[in-house]
Structure 1
Amino acid sequence: MSFADLGLSDELLRAVEASGYSDPTPIQAAAIPSVLMMRDLIGIAQTGTGKTASFVLPMIDILAQGRSRARMPRSLILEPTRELAAQVAENFEKYGVNHKLSMALLIGGVQMGDQVKALEKGVDVLIATPGRLMDLFQRGKILLTGCELLVIDEADRMLDMGFIPDIEEICTKLPKTRQTLLFSATMPPPIKKLADRFLSNPKQIEVSRPASTNLNITQKLVPVRADRKREVLRTLLTRDDVKTAIIFCNRKTTVRELNKSLRRYGFKSGEIHGDMEQPQRLAELALFKSGEINILVASDVAARGLDIKGVSHVYNFDAPWHPDDYVHRIGRTGRAGATGSAYTFVTADDAENIENIEKLTGQTIPREEVSIDAAPPAREEAPREERPRRGRRDTAEARPTREERAPRDDRAPRSARPARDERPVREERPVRADREPRRDDRRSRNGYDDGPDVGWNGPIPSFLDIKLGA
Structure 2
Amino acid sequence: MSFADLGLSDELLNAVTAAGYDTPTPIQAQAIPSVLMMRDIIGIAQTGTGKTASFVLPMIDILAHGRARARMPRSLILEPTRELAAQVAENFEKYGVNHKLSMALLIGGVSMGDQVKALEKGVDVLIATPGRLMDLFERGNILLNGCELLVIDEADRMLDMGFIPDIEHICTKLPTNRQTLLFSATMPPPIKKLSDKFLSNPKYIEVARPATANINIEQKLVEVAPMKKREVLRDLIRSEDVQTAIIFCNRKTTVRELNKSLKRHGFRSGEIHGDIDQASRLKELDAFKSGAINLLVASDVAARGLDIKGVSHVFNFDAPWHPDDYVHRIGRTGRAGAKGKAFTFVSREDAEHIENIEKLIGLKIDRLGRPSRETERSEPAAKPERKSREKVERQSKPRKDEPKPKTKQAPAAAKEIDEGWNGPLPDFLNFTIAP
Instruction: Quickly name the TM-score band, shorter chain normalised.
Output: 0.7 to 0.9
Give the match for residue 367 of structure 1. 367
Q: CA offset at residue 226 of structure 1?
A: 1.0
Give the match for residue 113 of structure 2. 113
Q: CA offset at residue 368 of structure 1?
A: 0.8
Listed as ranges, the matches of 1:28-47 within 5 Å are: 28-47=28-47
Give the match for residue 85 of structure 2. 85
Q: Unpaired runs of 5+ in structure 1?
A: 373-470
Which structure's residues are more often helix, by fraction? 2
Whole-angstrom distance in 2 between the partners of 1:71 and 1:188: 34
Contact 2:224 2:371 in 1 (8 A): no
AA in 1 matched with 2:294: N
AA in 2 matched with 1:128: A
Q: CA offset at residue 316 of structure 1?
A: 0.3
Whole-angstrom distance in 2 between the partners of 1:334 and 1:259: 24
Give the match for residue 58 of structure 1. 58
Q: CA offset at residue 48 of structure 1?
A: 0.2
Listed as ranges, the matches of 1:306-455 within 5 Å are: 306-369=306-369
Contact 1:232 1:370 in 2 (8 A): no
Give the match for residue 138 of structure 1. 138
Whole-angstrom distance in 1 between the partners of 2:71 and 2:199: 25
Contact 2:72 2:142 in 1 (8 A): yes
Whole-angstrom distance in 1 between the partners of 2:161 and 2:227: 31
Give the match for residue 12 of structure 1. 12
Q: CA offset at residue 159 of structure 1?
A: 0.7
Whole-angstrom distance in 1 between the partners of 2:195 and 2:325: 22
Whole-angstrom distance in 1 between the partners of 2:49 and 2:116: 34
Are 1:147 and 2:144 matched, yes or no?
A: no
Post-superposition Cα deviations, 1:384-435, rounded to whole Å, max 9, x if no partner, equal: xxxxxxxxxxxxxxxxxxxxxxxxxxxxxxxxxxxxxxxxxxxxxxxxxxxx
Are 1:2 and 2:8 matched, yes or no?
A: no
Aligned length: 372
Whole-angstrom distance in 2 between the partners of 1:287 and 1:212: 30
Whole-angstrom distance in 1 between the partners of 2:72 and 2:269: 42
AA in 2 matched with 1:82: R
SS of residue matched to 1:211: coil
Q: CA offset at residue 371 of structure 1?
A: 9.8
Whole-angstrom distance in 2 between the partners of 1:103 and 1:15: 17
Give the match for residue 94 of structure 1. 94
Divergent runs of 4+, >3 A: none
Q: CA offset at residue 369 of structure 1?
A: 1.2
RMSD: 0.9
Q: CA offset at residue 188 of structure 1?
A: 1.1
Give the match for residue 158 of structure 1. 158
SS of residue matched to 1:367: strand
Give the match for residue 264 of structure 2. 264
Give the match for residue 388 of structure 2. none
Q: Unpaired runs of 5+ in structure 2?
A: 373-435
Are 1:218 and 2:218 matched, yes or no?
A: yes
Q: CA offset at residue 187 of structure 1?
A: 1.1
Work out which of the two has the higher radius of gyration on C-alpha atoms and give 1 or 2: 1
Post-superposition Cα deviations, 1:287-342, rounded to whole Å, max 9, x if no partner, equal: 10010100000000110000000000000001111100001000000001100000
Are 1:73 and 2:73 matched, yes or no?
A: yes
Post-superposition Cα deviations, 1:26-82, rounded to whole Å, max 9, x if no partner, equal: 000000000000000000111100000000000000000000000000000000000
Post-superposition Cα deviations, 1:366-386, rounded to whole Å, max 9, x if no partner, equal: 1111799xxxxxxxxxxxxxx
Give the match for residue 204 of structure 1. 204
Q: CA offset at residue 257 of structure 1?
A: 0.3
Contact 1:214 1:334 in 2 (8 A): yes
Identity percentage over the alignment? 83
Whole-angstrom distance in 1 between the partners of 2:297 and 2:369: 23
Whole-angstrom distance in 2 between the partners of 1:201 and 1:82: 31
Post-superposition Cα deviations, 1:330-364, rounded to whole Å, max 9, x if no partner, equal: 00000011000000011111111011101111111
